[in-house]
Structure 1
Amino acid sequence: MARKYLPTADKGASGLERPAGRTFPGFMPARLWYRQPVYYMSNALTIGPSGATIAAHDVQLAEMRGGFGPHGATHFASSMSSVLVAASEVPDGSALSTRVGVNGVMVARGSTSGMRHSAGEALAHAS
């Protein structure tokens, strides 16, 4: 993300990260992230099917720098895959792979393994 939104900082940080073998401290999550789940609320009623056109604006960074936290940037639509899987077909939700694609281009990959907080903890916190 730093490469896209903070290209100058990314160049400097990358030069320090490689020899140190760890993430640049300024790119580490805030302490709150370690204590409790942090999440975004989307409009659950705005769901687009896979492949639908959804407008997005890169405004969150500017809002966060404004000192009041994200506001308009956290209101976004959700998109779902065309494949639906029943919970009974997922024996271990802590080991799922994730992918995010935009306009056919893979922009992120991840996994639920190694999450800081379990799905149960996140649901309990959000409730």
Structure 2
Amino acid sequence: MASPQHAPVRPVRPADQASAAAWLLALFGPVAIWASAVWLTAMAISPDVVGDRCEGIGWGCTLSPRDGVLFAGAYVGLFLVPIATAITLIGAGFGRGRATKVVGTMLGLFTAGVVVLAVAIVAAPPNS
């Protein structure tokens, strides 16, 4: 019995690996950046409720500043992260040979915007 003929296995080129890494970064980068920024911002803000207001969501109650950041981060992230992911994936698709640079630049811009927003939230004076 003759052994079957198989096509030779071609080695993975470094350009293919870089392209795959760019696609993975474009897909998961915005989620990781947003989640870590919201968590770090929440940890930098006081967990205490200002004044005599009760804590929680309800009749006349307000969220603590930390819970407010987490709550707003979850809702804003529902819209912002998919948009950023779609734009980054489109950039990776048009970037052909330089997809890693395009995705890196887009994620850098997204990170810069998130950091500016986080610093503005942390630096804002508490309401009294």
Short-chain TM bin: under 0.3
Higher relative contact order (CA 8 A, sep 6+): 2
- For normalisation by structure 2, the TM-score amounts to 0.22
Quick check: which one's strand share is greater? 1
- For normalisation by structure 1, the TM-score amounts to 0.22
Quick check: which one's helix share is greater? 2
